Amino acid sequence: MQLGAINRNTLYLIVGALAVVVVVLAYQLYQDRKEPQGMQINVGPGGISIEKK
């Protein structure tokens, strides 16, 4: 194998791994910001409130 081919393959591996990390982090951020479905129970100074989403 040539040294250039090893470096190129390593670069492709790093770029691919970074792309996977970006996709996973973007999906997690989307899930965190998404409005929850089902029932939401809030306890605050005004008492308890239950909302159906």
Percent helix / strand / coil, the chain, rounded to 5:
60, 25, 20
pLDDT tens digits, 1-53: 566 677 888 999 999 999 999 999 999 999 999 877 888 888 989 899 888 87
Q: What is the 3-state secondary structure (H, E, C) of 11-31?
A: HHHHHHHHHHHHHHHHHHHHH
Q: Where are the domains of the chain?
A: 3-52
Dihedral in degrees, nearest 10, Cα atoms 21, 22, 24, 28: 130
- Res 3: pLDDT: 64
In DSSP terms, 44 is beta-bridged to: 47
- Res 2: pLDDT: 62
Q: Is the pTM of this model over 0.75?
A: no
